[in-house]
Chains A and B, each alone.
Chain A
């Protein structure tokens, strides 16, 4: 039986799992939307991934975790930050990438890669939700549009309006008063996306613009965000298939490195991974169904 490695990205609103075999082929990638950080979400993503891969828990011998909840998972052999992992994952998906823009639920980051694909510089938002998925979420609610539809709606607008507040709370009041003035929803939404784009351009400015640019993270699924950001950066953004799982993929690749460098010396606690996974998945308290959204396993060169 082949050995496998697992990368898990425990984000603020989603959990993502990627499983690779020892040759570097993706055998599973799964995303679970579970609201706030929860190990329920993690369990769901793990179940989904194992189902998809059709392997036993014991086949996985190395686990690397990333994302905000990375240190909450004792199944991981080690943790690596989402910056390092996203860079690695994005680079695997798009080998020529020189800049990675990742906008997630709670944070946004811009990572510049050097010619060898290593992280050269990075910038990350501070505590505030400005320029993150959260910002979009709050304002979608204010305008009363489904989060998934807001991008398409925004693109219908023929003009935009400036949303000057960076803070989500203030922007919300601003949006409400624009609605009160009778501005069309689409126009306001266009403004909202433009605002997120200009925040991101600010982050890009901190590390310097390098083409080609790859965009990953949940917000990469939002067509208006991609449109306005591309316009603001005067470039076409590359959204690879599997953009959402780039972090988990990066983590899995680091796990693969670990496996390969350690293969000479067989670690005596390889079984420990299985035990921990079992424990996590068999938690009798909660019975979690597998995740609803299995991504088609992405292909790339490991």
Chain B
């Protein structure tokens, strides 16, 4: 089937080559954004290509002289990309999210390369204040005005509405894929899903939508039953893609990943923007404030949502028999949240396994032993339950 999947894989594996080629072909500008909740519809509405700056697997070189090694892999990688002059093709970088490590990296980037236009419009992280929506609307309006100035364009409401619908469609198509995968109708590997989502972060959305439709059409014909593997839900990696090798390794150890809340996964497509709200900026801000209901983000302050409880439900809904948490080393928001996840899963007797990942690579044999043991454990427990029943 799989020229379409190949296209996704290529864009995901060499995102910047893809963007550079697109710029050249279309003569458009490209605006980089940083995770996690940037409303890229706004950039799309200016006519520029929004590109989420990705972690690159390359070893940290000159960036190591600009940032301490005790920062998360994503931030160290993007600093290194800048000091290695790999992001010059971006016409500007914009970001809205508050994580101390992300802000640190942005500040380092600004000082290392003063010629980079890198602007920050802080979205309020506390989602349930009476003024959270109002504050988000204000921030987004400032962002629009700033982009208009930086790019020398005017963003119309109509353009925004159009962008929102294109993005909504993209999210919906990917969610459809997720749904088919959950029910076992299709069998895409987790690394393939990652290619699909990651490519959406750097590709022109209309093009991506067309490819998705093509893929879905080709997939619907195949319906092999799910094999006798252990179904796993994967959670974590808030800002960048886990290395596909790790996802593949998990699936080589007798597990099938059936669902996830990864940033380069379901998290990215979880929430549509309500086209029914008249003012598109209010619609975008509302989607931001409400996103936590769909997939909780531990970098946001939201007393009404518990990631751990939500995860228990998510694991159950997709029929997974266990949870694998992929925790990025030094990611403090996740470090804060993990003990509660651990406690909740232990309390409810749902097997879970935490794997810490590092930019500089993980000890694959160690991980393989953990995952194999985890799968063996679930199988043995399952067999014991079957005997008891």
Contact = CB atoms under 8 A, between A and B. Distances in A.
**Chain A bound to chain B:** yes
Contacts of A84: 373, 376-377, 380
B21 interface: no
Interface in B372-389: 372-373, 376-377, 380-381, 384
Q: Which residue among B366, B373, B381 has the maximum number of chain A CB atoms within 10 Å of its CB? A: B373
A119 B362 CA distance: 25
Interface in A12-69: 68
B157 interface: no
Interface in A123-171: 124, 126-127
Contacts of B384: 116, 118
A75 B340 CA distance: 44
Contacts of B365: 68
B370 A124 contact: yes
A83 B381 contact: no
Nearest to B378: A119
Given A118-B381, A121-B346, A127-B362, A80 B369 contact: no
A208 B349 CA distance: 14
A288 interface: no
B373 A126 contact: no
A124 B380 contact: no
A90 B384 CA distance: 19
Contacts, number: 46
Contacts of A116: 384
Nearest to A82: B369
A83 B373 contact: yes
Given A81-B372, A83-B373, A84-B376, A126 B381 contact: no
A86 to B, nearest CB: 10
Contacts of A10: none
B363 interface: yes
Contact of A126 (B363, B376, B377): B363
A122 interface: yes
B148 interface: no
Given A81-B372, A126-B356, A119 B363 contact: no
A234 B356 CA distance: 30
B246 to A, nearest CB: 14
A121 B378 CA distance: 10
A68 B372 CA distance: 12
Interface string B335-353: 0000000000010000000
Contacts of B366: 107, 124, 126-127
A211 B372 CA distance: 26
Contacts of B346: 121, 208
A119 B369 contact: no
Contacts of B381: 118-119
Interface of B: 346, 356, 362-363, 365-366, 369-370, 372-373, 376-377, 380-381, 384
Given A119-B373, A119-B376, A124-B370, 16 more contacts: A68-B365, A80-B372, A80-B376, A83-B377, A84-B373, A84-B380, A107-B366, A118-B380, A118-B381, A119-B377, A121-B346, A122-B373, A124-B369, A124-B373, A126-B356, A127-B366
